[in-house]
Structure 1
Amino acid sequence: MKKPVIISTDPGIDDAVALAICLFSPAIEVKSIIATNGNVNAQQALINILKLEKFFGKSIPVVKGVERSLVKQSIRAKEIHGKSGMDGYDFPNPSFELVDHGISPVAIHKIVAASSEKVTLIGIAPLTDYALYVRLYPDDIKNIKELIIMGGAMGRGNYGIYSEFNIASDPEAAKIIFESGLKIRVAPLELGAQAKIMPEVSNQIQQLGKAGDMFYDLFKKFRGGSFQTGLKIYDALAAGILLNPQMFKFKKTHVEIDVQTGYTYGASLMDFKNKLDLPNNAEIAVSVDPEIFSKWFVEALSKTR
């Protein structure tokens, strides 16, 4: 039986890759996609998801998430993904027939309540919608198998000194999530540098028909690393944790999100040495085998042909 999954995403070039992997995986059934405010605003994220679904011939209900972070002003990443979030390819105009016009926490709750087995949540964007969901429906937590997150950093950040973009976008939401009691697995920032997509892998992907051409064109515009020295396709790591966890090494720890105004605002403090003497609330993928990841990555995307 396929695992039921909900994905919260803000496409974003690497989000598009992770979505493709999940949509074509024979092991999971994507029940809904939440268009989240992050790399682009929620409306543009909605448009980008619908473009991808039309391109791939998929018909998964898409819910527009909230328009801004819980407390702070929203941030964007157009210097990484381009103004549209998916610059580099001329997608067909989206169809809006798949839009679920409900409120994202309610939409998530309906799916979880109706599911005969526990639902897996994937968060490859700021965690705003999931935070609102667990606040509104705390009793649902027992029906959630796990939440897999791409976000946070074991050391230095890529947005602030110690803050990674997805967590820095809405630290208060991330704090709610890590204190929720959900089972959480995390692909942190550092794994992107461990599992770079090198030019020879991009060339293999280009051979995968229409979808391969599309991803190759997006990769040439992506600024997460460089096309020549290796691209950091972060969000595919979250899909990898769900679909091929054997290629990772994990370590359980307590994660604390700093929400105090200052230089460390948005930092994800991973207490691997148990300095805080607090219970573990997450399992962190501390490393990934790059060769196994590259092979899996090409194989997963080959299913889009």
Structure 2
Amino acid sequence: MAIPIIIDTDPGIDDMIAISAAIHSKDLDVKLITSVGGNVGIEHTTQNALDIVNYFKKDIPVAKGVDTPLINKLATAEHVHGHNGIGNVQFMTSSQTNILEDHAVIAMKETIMNSEEPITLVPIGPLTNIALLFSLFPETKSNIKQIVLMGGSAVGGNATPLAEFNIYVDPHAAQIVFNQDIPIVMCGLDVTRETIINHDDIQTLKKLGDFGNLITDMLEVYNDVNSGEKHEHIIHDLCTIFYLLYPEMFTTERANVSVITEGQAAGCTYTEFNKEGKVEVCMHANNKQFREKFVEFVKDIHQSR
């Protein structure tokens, strides 16, 4: 049976890749996609989510969420993802099909409570929507299987020396989420920095039709590279989807994770490794398998279109 998931996202080039993989997989059932301000503002993140759903002609609802963090001002990453979040790529149509009238938090609540199977939440942006969900509707926790999120780091950051971007944008929301009594898998920078695609992979993608070209067009602008290597890109958010599909690809350690909300260390996920810890922290990934599965899903989409 396919795993029912909700993707909460701020697309984002790597978000668009992760969403595509989830939508395409027969082993995942994407019940809802919710947008949040993060990589770019909410109008762009919502439109990008709509565009990728409509590109694949999928009947998956999209709900617009929160544009600003709980307390802080929104920090964005246009310098990484382009002014519109997707490398300045423009979809042929700008459809509003599948957009819900309900706010993302309400849509999540309804989807979770009406699901026959416990839902897995997959947040791949700032955690503002998720924090509001638990604060306003704590009853939803009874029908959530786990949270598999992209964010945080046991060692080092990318927004600051100590903080990963998604957590840095809204550390107060992250603190609320990590304090919940729900199983959490943290796909942070420790593992995502090992999920790199290289020049050869990109050349292969260029031969895989419209979708392959769509990805390579976005990656040409994507300014999240490995140690300055222009043709080696870190596909952070895809780790969450591949963790659900191919858990054997990852090495994890148990830990307790707390979030620093103020001062120079704001956004730091303070990670205390402990066999009794309640968070499963992904520490390593098999890069060869990641690259093979990445190219494989793009090839599958090309062959099915």
Same fold, TM exceeding 0.5? yes
2:89 aligned residue: 89
- The reply to whether residue 303 of structure 1 matches residue 300 of structure 2 is yes
- The Cα offsets for residues 194-251 of structure 1, whole Å up to 9 and x where unpaired, read as 1210011112222221100110111111111067441011001111111111100011
Separation of aligned partners in 2, 1:62 and 1:4: 15
Structure 2: where are the runs of 5+ without partners? none
Separation of aligned partners in 2, 1:23 and 1:224: 24
The amino acid across from 1:2 in the alignment is A
1:112 aligned residue: 112
The amino acid across from 1:9 in the alignment is T
- Superposition pairs for residues 94-173 of structure 1, below 5 Å? 94-173=94-173
TM-score normalised by the chain length of structure 2: 0.95
1:272 aligned residue: 273
| Equivalent pair of 1:191/1:287 in contact (CA under 8 Å) | yes
Separation of aligned partners in 1, 2:113 and 2:3: 15
- The reply to whether residue 294 of structure 1 matches residue 291 of structure 2 is yes
Secondary structure of 1:177's aligned partner: helix
Backbone CA RMSD of aligned residues = 1.4
Deviates more, 1:136-145 or 1:148-157: 136-145
| Equivalent pair of 1:197/1:231 in contact (CA under 8 Å) | yes
The amino acid across from 1:291 in the alignment is K
| Equivalent pair of 2:37/2:68 in contact (CA under 8 Å) | yes
- The Cα offsets for residues 116-166 of structure 1, whole Å up to 9 and x where unpaired, read as 111111010000001100111212212111111110011111012200000
Following TM superposition, by how much is the alpha carbon of 1:88 offset from its aligned partner in structure 2, in angstroms? 4.4
The amino acid across from 2:201 in the alignment is V
* Runs of 4+ displaced beyond 3 Å: 226-229
Following TM superposition, by how much is the alpha carbon of 1:103 offset from its aligned partner in structure 2, in angstroms? 1.9
Separation of aligned partners in 1, 2:220 and 2:87: 10
Separation of aligned partners in 2, 1:165 and 1:154: 14
The amino acid across from 1:236 in the alignment is L
Separation of aligned partners in 1, 2:162 and 2:78: 21
Separation of aligned partners in 2, 1:202 and 1:191: 21
- The reply to whether residue 66 of structure 1 matches residue 75 of structure 2 is no
Following TM superposition, by how much is the alpha carbon of 1:21 offset from its aligned partner in structure 2, in angstroms? 0.2
The amino acid across from 1:158 in the alignment is N
Separation of aligned partners in 2, 1:269 and 1:234: 20
2:14 aligned residue: 14
2:256 aligned residue: 254
Separation of aligned partners in 1, 2:143 and 2:5: 12
- The Cα offsets for residues 148-199 of structure 1, whole Å up to 9 and x where unpaired, read as 1110011111012200000001000000000011111011113232121001
Following TM superposition, by how much is the alpha carbon of 1:90 offset from its aligned partner in structure 2, in angstroms? 2.8
1:26 aligned residue: 26
